[in-house]
Amino acid sequence: MIKVEGLTKAFGGNKVLDGVSLEVAAGEVVALMGLSGTGKSVLLLHIVGLMSPDAGKIIVDGDPVTELSESRLLLFRRKVGYLFQDSALYDFMTVGENLAFPLKEHTRLKPVDIRAKVDAHLKMVDLAGSADTFPSELSGGMRKRAALARALIMNVKVLLCDEPTSGLDPIRSRDISQLIRDLSKKAGCATVVTTHDMLNAFRIADRAFVLNQGKLAAQGTETEVRGSSDPFVKEFLAG
Ligand SMILES: Nc1ncnc2c1ncn2[C@@H]1O[C@H](COP(=O)(O)OP(=O)(O)O)[C@@H](O)[C@H]1O
Ligand SMILES: [Mg+2]
């Protein structure tokens, strides 16, 4: 579903990604780990076509993301749910309006059907009854869940979550991790979750990738990553 080949990106003299290749299958959840500033967010932005690479190729659901025109990119992005680090809900809209927004913009669903879909998605993230509240009235964990519901509401094929547990306490981190995994699996999405939170990475993901100095220092199942002989990976896992 997601295929990244030889992705290379530098900002000025700072080579952030240096020939990164990875694949994520439909229905698979992977974690992208690494220290802060190693290019995890930059990699996600490339997958959704919000950044273009210096070299390399990305194909998502058959679309050559790195070669699409701006207008094709807009269409392509409807297949991708993006959970931004800061949730990025619109503060001036209620939670229900936030969820309805992509449906109003991109579908011809009737208002009554939009409302039903919004309610169903709020229920899925355990926020039934929160449609008429404003994001500012919600806790951090609730905002994350609302943003997750919005990211999934277009029946996306790909879900990208940028540091979903950052700023949350351990219990809420565990809950949102579990929810991301459950909903991704239910929807059959190819899901990439960036995190520097090892515990939750392995909770969420079928496989993990460890990014260091522009390259993947380790990849595989929890056992495989934990068994890595790469000095950085060993130090990283030791915390
Ligand atoms: N738009 C940009 N312009 C210049 N440098 C950037 C830009 N976006 C990210 N960077 C740099 O790329 C590196 C990786 O950033 P990022 O992907 O945000 O790290 P991570 O998400 O792993 O914490 C950082 O050094 C950051 O300063
Ligand atoms: Mg980041």
Which residue type occupies 117?
A: K
pLDDT at 200: 85
Ligand 1 midpoint to CA 170 (Å) = 26
Ligand with minimal distance to 211 CA: 1
- Give the residue among 202, 189, 124 at the shortest CA–CA distance from 159: 189
Say yes or no: CB of residue 33 within 6 Å of ligand 1.
no
What are the pLDDT digits (tens) for 62-80? Answer: 999 999 999 999 999 999 9
What are the pLDDT digits (tens) for 192-208? Answer: 999 988 888 988 899 99
What is the pTM assigned to this prediction?
A: 0.95
Ligand 2 midpoint to CA 111 (Å) = 36
Q: Could you identify the atom of ligand 1 that is nearest to the CA of residue 45?
A: 17
Residue 90 has pLDDT above 80, yes or no: yes
Say yes or no: CB of residue 188 within 6 Å of ligand 1.
no
Are the C-beta atoms of 127 and 142 separated by less than 8 Å?
A: yes
CA dist 80 and 158 (Å) reads 5
Q: Could you identify the atom of ligand 1 that is nearest to the CA of residue 51?
A: 1
CA dist 34 and 97 (Å) reads 35
Residue 181 has pLDDT above 90, yes or no: yes
Say yes or no: CB of residue 157 within 6 Å of ligand 1.
no
Mean residue pLDDT across the chain:
95
Say yes or no: CB of residue 212 within 6 Å of ligand 1.
no
Confidence band of 135 (pLDDT split at 50, 70, 90):
very high
Facing residues of 161 across strands? 83, 193
Ligand with minimal distance to 85 CA: 2
Say yes or no: CB of residue 40 within 6 Å of ligand 1.
yes
Residue 87 has pLDDT above 80, yes or no: no
Report the 10 Å Cβ neighbour count for 66. Answer: 20
Say yes or no: CB of residue 221 within 6 Å of ligand 1.
no
pLDDT at 198: 83
Three-point CA angle 209, 50, 165, nearest 5°:
45
Q: Picking from 132-136, 165-169, 189-193, which range would have the lowest pLDDT averaged per residue?
A: 165-169
Confidence band of 120 (pLDDT split at 50, 70, 90):
very high
Domain 2-85+157-238, architecture per CATH: 3-Layer(aba) Sandwich (3.40)
Are the C-beta atoms of 1 and 26 separated by less than 8 Å?
A: yes
Alpha carbon separation from 138 to 81, 124, 141, 143, 238 (Å, rounded): 21, 17, 8, 6, 35
pLDDT at 152: 96
Q: Where are the domains of the chain?
A: 2-85+157-238
